[in-house]
Amino acid sequence: MIVKGLLAAGIAVGVATAAAGMPPVEAYGQLPSVDLIALSPDGTRMALAVTGHGAREVQVRTVADRQLVTGLPTGTVKVRALQWVGDHHLIVTKSTTADIAGTTGPRHEYALAVDINLATGKAQPLLSGVGDNTTETLNTIAALPEARTIKGRPVAFLVGTAFANMRGIHALFRADLDSRTTRMVAQGNVDTEDWLLDADGEIAARVDYVERSGRWSLWTRRGDPFVKSMEDTRPLDPPELKGFGRSATTVMVATRDDDDWSYREIALGGDTPSPPVTALAGAGLIVDPTTHLVIGGHRDAGLAVDYTFLAEPDQRLWRAVRHAFPDAVVRIESWSDDRRTLVLRVEGKAAGAAYFLLDTVHHKADWLANEYQGIDAADLGEVRQIVYKATDGLAIPAFLTLPPGTAKAAGLPLVVLPHGGPGVHDAPGFDWWAQAIAARGYAVLQPEYRGSTGFGEAFHTAGFGEWGRRMQTDLSDGVAHLAADGTIDSNRVCIVGGSYGGYAALAGVALQHGIYRCAVSLAGPSDLRAMLAEVNAAHHGERSETMRFWQRFMGAKSPSDHALDAISPVRFAARVDVPVLLIHGVDDTVVAFSQSKAMAAALARAGHPAQFVTLAGEDHWLSRGETRTAMLKATLDFLAVNLPVAATAAPRTAGR
């Protein structure tokens, strides 16, 4: 059955009818069939990225009847964001992995922006050819564009790079989209990170950060001139300017005080931060797209996402949304300026993983599309939140996904799937990687090991210096917990992960022993001294925030600290006595491809050669459907051989 109104240019998005057996690997490995949905300010049209039959396209459709306004095939372009500027311009932010001729520095993932004028049908790359005889600029952007409507005209502000004395510095550009003209409106100093613009596009604040010393400063103004409103020296965790506060005369700053983060407001042109805004503690901020003011916050809360709005009408609307979708993870993806129309992302037993269009006037929610074509609600494994004790007594939260249709969780084979980061956390809702593994008959454990965010700053800082140490045993303590209560068979456990999770997979069979029957590492570091040497070269020396971040988690005094050898899996390849699968994208700019090559070579020298899958043209984030599918196929085939499930359902035929 094809989704009503989402069929164009050979791309079909929809919900497959139920079929016996599990969905094919391709259903999980494809990029989302529909994502990046953004409503126009007036709520009459929506932009979305659509994927189907190996093709990807940016579409604009009417909200009322889903009719196609325009469709733009994207080919191999990696689309990162869709933003409206007024009701007739759509900015597509894309990225590419590249070296830039004439500049120094490592290969990098660069972002670019293109404006689509829906009235004329013309596309214009932004920041192309902006420089003059005295100033050269790049066509790349350092942050998502800022949309404004000034005197009725659509304007986009972009932070780009200009060259002064042969050195690249941040500069602020104004692109008038109707006239297709762009000009530089501000050029920062060598330490300028960002600017804050008011509703009229005037600069209200500027942030500077001296990376070598860690000195952070906030400059604001209410009229002229700029005033230094705040200054702090923090080599790590400097304050962050989040935008305007709850009024147009204040800015909101996140600060770390006494090992915890809080939000404080500072008046424009002032220098006295407010007490912490308790209503927003621990939340991600919600900003009104019209006023650009903070109107609330959102938090991951166990198996749900919770929103707190500062205005009662907005909070009442959120309560109605939650009432309409009980026992589901609901996120607000987009809304019209008047709040009459909302796009919701809903994940749960009833809806599966799907998008809904909410009409707040008529109190009606219409199903829009499944996020993944071919994966129905019945295909999803149950996700539980559990908490277990680490060896030292620390409570470790985790998600446990059971195979679909599990009546009683007992004696299951287990895949431990630690997240990357390490300073992030697994979010509630549909996880394509975990669900793909669970669909093959495995329980999947996703521990929020110490060092993860989202559970308080004390939990986060408990991970400092514990890379490969207690962060590692937090995972195996989860295995012991599930074995003790009979949920899993302790003799049938494998560890799989990407980035830091890939490192944890290698450490689980090189630094630990007898816990895992196999390991799969996707882009996992293996030689930490070599990794830090690469970071050191890429970020111009040890006195960089990036280097300080890694050294803090690894517990290293310097990039050449030989203490890193004790937690580097490549040094212990001879201890590995179980099968290992290595997977790595050639275009990875975060963890060098050489890290997996080194581990493969070390295992081969030790007489335990690993399987090694190379993903051509892939970055660190599995941004392409074909390579994401290749990763999944390799992983599931490897598990089928080395951690077989006693009874499995026959896969459905791909494409059904």
Three-state DSSP state, 647: coil
Q: Is residue 217 part of a domain?
A: no
445 and 573 in a common domain: yes
Q: Which residue has the tokens 């003790």?
A: 484
The predicted structure's pLDDT at residue 76: 82
Q: Which residues lie across from 168 on neighbouring strands?
A: 163
482 and 470 in a common domain: yes
Entry pTM:
0.92
497 and 352 in a common domain: no
Give the residue from 325, 320, 398 showing the smallest Cα distance to 356.
325
What are 484-523's pLDDT values in tens digits? 999 999 999 999 999 999 999 999 999 999 999 999 999 9
Beta strand segments in 302-428, E: 304-309, 328-335, 341-348, 352-359, 364-370, 383-389, 395-401, 412-416
Q: Is residue 201 part of a domain?
A: no
The predicted structure's pLDDT at residue 70: 93
573 and 461 in a common domain: yes
What's the distance, Cα to Cα, between the start and end of the chain in Å? 10
439 and 347 in a common domain: no
The predicted structure's pLDDT at residue 105: 58
- pLDDT above 70: percentage of residues in the chain: 92
Q: How many domains does the chain have?
A: 2
The predicted structure's pLDDT at residue 645: 93
Apex 511 CA angle, 507 and 517, nearest 5: 70
Answer left, alpha or beta for residue 641, where phi above 0 means left and psi between -120 and 50 means alpha: alpha
- Of 362, 380, 398, the residue at which a domain comes to its end is 380
What are 197-229's pLDDT values in tens digits? 999 999 999 999 998 899 999 999 988 899 999
Whether the per-residue pLDDT at 103 is higher than 90: the answer is: no
CATH label of the domain that carries residue 427 = 3.40.50.1820
Contact 135, 125 (CB under 8 A): no
Q: Is residue 655 part of a domain?
A: no
Lowest mean pLDDT among 12-16, 21-25, 80-84, 415-419: 12-16
622 and 499 in a common domain: yes
- pLDDT above 90: percentage of residues in the chain: 79
Q: Is residue 176 part of a domain?
A: no
Contact 23, 379 (CB under 8 A): yes
The predicted structure's pLDDT at residue 104: 53
467 and 418 in a common domain: yes
E strand or H helix that includes residue 201: none
Spatial strand order in the sheet of 395-401: 383-389, 395-401, 443-447, 412-416, 488-498, 518-522, 580-585, 611-615
440 and 479 in a common domain: yes
Whether the per-residue pLDDT at 598 is higher than 80: the answer is: yes
What are 65-93's pLDDT values in tens digits? 999 999 999 988 899 999 999 999 999 99
576 and 490 in a common domain: yes
CA 475 to CA 451: how far, in whole Å? 12
Q: Is residue 219 part of a domain?
A: no
- Of 380, 402, 419, the residue at which a domain comes to its end is 380
Confidence band, pLDDT 50/70/90 cuts, at residue 10: very low
Q: Is residue 622 part of a domain?
A: yes
- Of 380, 399, 420, the residue at which a domain comes to its end is 380
Lowest mean pLDDT among 164-173, 396-405, 510-519: 164-173
Confidence band, pLDDT 50/70/90 cuts, at residue 541: low
Give the residue from 640, 602, 299, 652 showing the smallest Cα distance to 442.
640
Domain range spanning residue 370? Answer: 1-76+325-380
Contact 56, 79 (CB under 8 A): yes
370 and 508 in a common domain: no
* Selected residue with higher pLDDT from 344 and 168: 344
349 and 450 in a common domain: no
Contact 352, 369 (CB under 8 A): no
478 and 579 in a common domain: yes
Whether the per-residue pLDDT at 421 is higher than 70: the answer is: yes
